[in-house]
């Protein structure tokens, strides 16, 4: 008589899942093998960030990948599902800094090497946790090929691409408008800016015209930037201001004479049709400034305060030494406002304008404000010396591929969004003022100001022979992540089996 076995009433995965998964791995069921008789099918995992642990979105995403790879494996394909994790520079550094803050420790106190030791320990802890979670999900990855965006092979690919693009003139260093986070104290990309509706005000200010003595009314949501104004703009077709072409205004509070320029940015149908121009602290104003060759005057420090005498002295010293780059902003000593946060400065400036009779009115409004996706603090647009990739020559062949039908969007309506983005793309700021990430492979000579870009770990100046110092900045995470499908499969090496 056969013994009757009943299934347990509740599912208990711990009783068998780990044992079965270990058996699969031990027998190499997921290990990829090159087989010229089979058609290859490869999935390179979108690498999860090592910022903590997986969530339900990861579980769904990896389940779908697992379904695809198992189906192809059973259909006779030579399959590879390559696993790995992403260093996620700004997100991971923010997490580590937050943990250090709880200990009463700062990055500056322990230095770059000490910080990087903590970062690698973080990677081992949380990267290891992510791998364990993927295994517990039953993911049929080839674990013998596990990668990390900062491992030796990926780092080699990053340096290779940087040097190649630099040699082709597609990477350059210069002063341009960037999204600056004064809390994370780094530049961030357009994709890392989140727009939030926030309550605010339109502050209607009065600027006296030098030649006529009349008052020009304009409105701004950021009166603290006015100290960096280098012009006001009117529309050349605006009949209200025809008599002011070629005139000047006296900038309130600091009594600096600045020109009135005619520019299409001044919309006759909005407000008074007069716009203050602060080229160092507003993307649109930066473009106006470039069209009219206006000076750039920076009035914010990189940690979100008003600039003072020390900031101005440092900038002036750089300028006098002849090492200031083209487009380097002037730095203003903001006097009584120096050292105030931008919020504190706004209150103080408004009080002084009101006392002088130059604050006409305050109009409440709700408006979209750019914030940092990581810390959710308000972004300060700022001209800063950074490394950039020229995007127009790279975008052209990508646009052509879609227009010519070689690449198709499903559904087709998304082509419109794609073309709008690609045809209006700006140069990509790839440098970040962080310590965790791929360090920029550029070296500077303090003796003769030579710059060398090389894949080597150190460099001697090719002009004067002095030791060179490496750029302290790291690359935007997406610079390395974009290379993930190539670097994980062996590029730039040429071995087919990698």
Q: Which tens digits make up the pLDDT trace of 68-110?
A: 999 999 999 999 999 999 999 998 999 999 999 999 999 999 9
Q: Are residues 109 and 232 in the same domain?
A: no
Per-residue confidence at 325, pLDDT binned at 50, 70, 90? Answer: low
Residue 496 has pLDDT above 60, yes or no: no
- How much is the pLDDT for 293? 96
First vs last C-alpha separation in the chain: 57
387 part of a folded domain: no
Per-residue confidence at 258, pLDDT binned at 50, 70, 90? Answer: very high
Which residues make Cβ contacts (< 8 Å) with residue 171, sequence separation at least 6? 162, 165, 387, 388, 389, 390, 430
Long-range interactions of 114-119: CB distance < 8 A, separation 24+: 115/435, 115/436, 116/435, 116/436, 119/92, 119/93, 119/435, 119/436
Mean pLDDT over all residues of the chain? 93
User: What CATH number has the domain bearing residue 306?
Assistant: 3.90.740.10
Query: For residue 217, which of 195, 241, 181, 201 has the smallest C-alpha distance?
Result: 241
Q: Are residues 243 and 311 in the same domain?
A: yes
447 part of a folded domain: no
Of 358, 382, 406, the position where a domain reaches its end is 382
Q: How many Å apart are CA 314 and CA 386, to the nearest integer?
A: 18
- Ramachandran sector of residue 322 (left: φ over 0; alpha: ψ -120 to 50; beta: rest): left
DSSP code for 192: G
Q: For residue range 206-226, what is the model confidence (pLDDT) as tens digits?
A: 999 999 999 999 999 999 999
Tell me which residue range forms the domain holding 138: 13-148
Q: How many domains, in total, are found in the chain?
A: 2
| Paired residues of 188 in beta bridges | 179
Q: Which helix (H) or strand (E) holds 345?
A: helix 342-355
283 part of a folded domain: yes
Q: What is the mean pLDDT of residues 136-148?
A: 96
Q: What is the mean pLDDT of residues 180-186?
A: 93
Q: Are residues 249 and 375 in the same domain?
A: yes
Q: Are residues 226 and 137 in the same domain?
A: no
- Sheet strand arrangement including 231-234: 248-251, 256-262, 231-234, 275-277
Of 120, 148, 176, the position where a domain reaches its end is 148
Q: Is 294 helix (H, G, I), strand (E, B) or coil?
A: coil
Q: Are residues 281 and 332 in the same domain?
A: yes
Higher pLDDT, 323 or 347: 347
Q: Are residues 270 and 339 in the same domain?
A: yes
């Amino acid at each position: 008589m056969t013994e009757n076995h009943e299934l347990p009433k509740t599912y208990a995965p711990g009783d068998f899942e780990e044992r079965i998964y270990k058996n699969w791995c031990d027998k190499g069921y997921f290990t990829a093998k090159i087989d010229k008789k089979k058609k290859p099918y490869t999935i390179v995992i979108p690498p999860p960030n090592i910022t903590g642990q997986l969530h339900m979105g990861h579980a769904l995403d990896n389940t779908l990948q697992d379904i695809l790879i198992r189906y192809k494996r059973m259909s006779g394909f030579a399959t590879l599902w390559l696993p790995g994790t992403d260093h996620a520079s700004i997100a991971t550094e923010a997490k580590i800094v937050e943990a250090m803050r709880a200990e009463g420790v700062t990055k500056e106190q322990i230095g770059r090497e000490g910080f990087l030791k903590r970062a690698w320990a973080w990677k081992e802890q949380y990267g290891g946790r992510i791998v364990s979670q993927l295994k517990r999900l039953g993911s049929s990855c080839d674990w013998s090929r596990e990668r990390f965006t900062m491992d030796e092979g990926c780092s080699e690919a990053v340096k290779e691409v940087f040097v190649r693009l630099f040699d082709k003139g597609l990477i350059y260093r210069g002063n341009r408008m960037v999204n600056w986070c004064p809390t994370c104290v780094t530049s961030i990309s357009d994709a890392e800016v989140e727009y939030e509706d926030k309550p605010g005000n339109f502050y209607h200010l009065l600027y006296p015209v030098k030649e006529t003595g009349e008052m020009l009314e304009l409105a701004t949501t950021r009166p603290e930037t006015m100290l960096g104004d280098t012009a006001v703009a009117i529309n050349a077709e605006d009949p209200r201001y025809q008599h002011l072409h070629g005139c000047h205004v006296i900038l309130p509070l600091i009594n600096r004479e600045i020109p009135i320029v005619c520019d299409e940015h001044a919309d006759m149908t909005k407000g008074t049709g007069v716009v203050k121009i602060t080229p160092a602290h507003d993307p649109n104003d930066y473009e106006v400034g470039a069209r009219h060759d206006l000076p750039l005057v920076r009035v914010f420090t990189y940690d979100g305060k008003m600039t003072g005498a020390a900031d101005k002295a440092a900038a002036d010293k750089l300028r006098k030494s002849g090492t200031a780059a083209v487009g380097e902003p002037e730095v203003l000593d903001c006097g009584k406002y120096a050292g105030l946060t931008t919020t504190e400065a706004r209150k103080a400036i408004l009080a002084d304008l009101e006392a002088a009779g130059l604050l006409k009115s305050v109009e409440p409004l709700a408006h979209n404000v750019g914030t940092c996706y990581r810390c959710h603090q308000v972004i300060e647009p700022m001209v800063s010396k950074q490394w950039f990739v020229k995007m127009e020559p790279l975008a052209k062949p990508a646009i052509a591929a879609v227009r010519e039908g070689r690449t198709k969007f499903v559904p087709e309506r998304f082509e419109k969004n794609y073309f709008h983005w690609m045809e209006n793309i700006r140069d990509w700021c790839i440098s970040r003022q962080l310590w965790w990430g791929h360090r920029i492979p550029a070296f500077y000579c303090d003796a003769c100001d030579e710059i060398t870009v090389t894949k080597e770990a150190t460099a001697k100046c090719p002009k004067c022979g002095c030791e060179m110092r490496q750029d302290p900045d790291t690359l935007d995470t997406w610079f390395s992540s974009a290379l993930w499908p190539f670097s994980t499969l062996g590029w730039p090496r040429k071995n087919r089996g990698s």
